[in-house]
Chain A
Amino acid sequence: MEPPRAQFRRVAARTGRPATLRFDGATIHATAGDSVLAALLESGVLVRRLEFGGEPRAGFCLMGACQDCWVWSAEGGRIRACTTPVADGMELFAEPQPQAPGHG
């Protein structure tokens, strides 16, 4: 099977420190300064499935308004991927984890 094609294509290089995060167990290589969403979309993963019907979603407005790019942290918190910078060692999930308390 060929690897998934990335949605985003980087056209300007970053010189920041490398940051490695894990998303649903997969390793994502990013650079400090990347938004979580850009890191995910550059690496070709599916960002999330809608809670209502499960269709795939990958963000929309990229400016913190549409709220369509929320992913979950290992601690059960929700992270808006387009306005959250990556941090080395971040562990993220497309869906809330079983141990997560039910945040509203």
Chain B
Amino acid sequence: MAEIVIIGAGPAGIAAAEMLCAKGLKPILIDEGARAGGQGYRRPASDLALDMNRLMGSEAEKYTALHRRFETLLPRLDYRPQTLVWAIDGSTLHLLRDGQAETQPFDRLLIASGAMDRIAPLPGWTLPGVFTLGGAQVALKDQGCLIGNRVAFLGSSPLLTLAAKQYREMGAEIAVIADTTPFSAKIAALPGLLRAPRTLVRGLWYMGAALRAGIPLLHGVMPIAIEGESRVEALVLRDAQGRERRFACDAVALGYGLKPETQLADLAGASFAYDPDFRLFLPAIDSMGRARPGLYLAGDGVRIGGADAAEASGALAAQAILADLGHGQDIAVTRTLARDVGRLRDFQRGLARAFAWPKAQIAALPDSVTLCRCEKITIGEVRAAMAKDLGPVEVNRVKAMTRCGMGRCQGRVCGPALQEIVAAEIGGDGAAAGRLRGQAPVKPIALAAAGSTA
């Protein structure tokens, strides 16, 4: 029987596994996390007294259902939690579990690696107390902790108001919700967003709740700095009316939407194309998620679409696997799934305009701002390297010259901002700046462990 491996036990990976198991196949489901669910549907440890129904709000039912479905699947799966895929070599995965390296061959590989926050730097963003927006939610859902007592939410994302609502309900003070995209851009994006009215209504309701609670909800802000001696003390910004405002806080949650974790797709041989709406290089896939023969990509790890799209795209990729293995696919199911995935991803495309990546603000950041937090490389160092005669004009050469993107995170955090700095210096767009190539190991591992592979 063909060995089918799924990487990632979030909604996409679980939905794919479910569909394959229904056909009597037994896929291997590998996940870096300790418990299935991915980031969004993360399940807290059983001893944590956290009311997940309340926290998940309108998504509570789906959250519960997904975990129940996963429980049902478990006996029919080869589930391997807490296992890192750190390299892909031909049709072999290199795994690390409990410090031990092993390999796993595959015939079909479905990668559902999920997403992380896209981050724009600003002065002070490396201070203790500044976390990603997703991180702020992980602290709550995984650990039952708030990232601070008085939290400022900065970025451009519908998740700013959602996370602020969760934080407020759990007892945090919200210093401010500050979105860099002007309100006019949100209105302009409305027609595209009407295709998924349920999500839209939810978003508007969160905004309304924030306003009713008296929380400053600002649009069109220009972040100036996060201030503090050795930890966060305040967020300073210029509001849409041009006034400088200082919000005292002890934590900042920072997020400009999500970006797919594409390193494994890269190592598995996917080709990439620049997406001007998201301003990201994304793996090329067909309508069912095929990236190349034997390689399938689903969920937020290939296109940001949210949990519902992830689930549908995981099931759709499983249909592609079944068809390619000669099991036949259910045409009606495939058509419905493809339509859902298309509609939900179009909605996210609309959101990418309503909550825009602030490329002009990033290009205008002062030289002194840290760009690479791994090795403390400033924007000025990148600009200086590029300004030299025969200086680099593309991100991979800039990385080689300055080490920006070469640190332990492998450019996960600095990559999108580096792209804008490079694009601005060469007077081109993000496509011209080029794409940071993925490298194994995709996350740091001890050399001793890598060398222990039998």
Contact = CB atoms under 8 A, between A and B. Distances in A.
Interface of A: 5, 7-16, 31-35, 38, 41-42, 46-47, 50, 52-53, 55-68, 70, 77-78, 82-83, 85, 103-104
Interface in B241-259: 250-251
Nearest to A63: B138
B198 to A, nearest CB: 27
Contacts of A78: 444, 446
A57 B129 CA distance: 9
A63 B37 CA distance: 13
A61 B118 CA distance: 11
The 8 closest A-B pairs by CB, nearest first: A12-B144, A58-B128, A62-B135, A67-B408, A12-B50, A8-B145, A52-B376, A38-B143
A56 B231 contact: yes
A7 B126 contact: no
A72 B219 CA distance: 42
A33 B116 contact: no
Contacts of B142: 35, 62
A51 B375 CA distance: 8
Interface stretch (B146-154, B296-304, B321-329, B338-346): B146-154
A88 B261 CA distance: 33
B376 to A, nearest CB: 4
Contacts of B43: none
B135 A15 contact: no
B231 A7 contact: yes
A65 B409 contact: yes
A9 B376 contact: no
Interface in B128-144: 128-132, 134-136, 138-140, 142-144
B48 A12 contact: yes
A77 B413 CA distance: 24
A53 B372 CA distance: 13
Nearest to A5: B250
A34 B143 contact: yes
A83 B444 CA distance: 13
Given A56-B230, A56-B231, A15 B49 contact: yes
Contacts of A104: 446-447
A41 B231 CA distance: 12
A66 B373 contact: yes
A59 B374 CA distance: 11
Nearest to B410: A67
Nearest to B125: A60
A11 B136 CA distance: 13
Contacts of B148: 7-9
A13 B171 CA distance: 14
B349 interface: no
Among A56, A70, A85, the most chain B Cβ lie within 10 Å of the Cβ of A56
B384 interface: no
12 contacts: A11-B145, A12-B49, A16-B45, A33-B45, A55-B126, A56-B127, A62-B135, A62-B136, A66-B132, A66-B412, A66-B413, A68-B374
Contact of A33 (B32, B48, B172, B448): B48
A63 B116 contact: yes
A64 B413 CA distance: 12
B262 interface: no
Given A13-B49, A14-B48, A38-B139, A62 B131 contact: yes
B117 interface: yes
A46 B48 CA distance: 25
Given A11-B146, A52-B375, A103-B447, A63 B39 contact: yes
Nearest to B171: A11
Contacts of B251: 7
Contacts of A47: 128
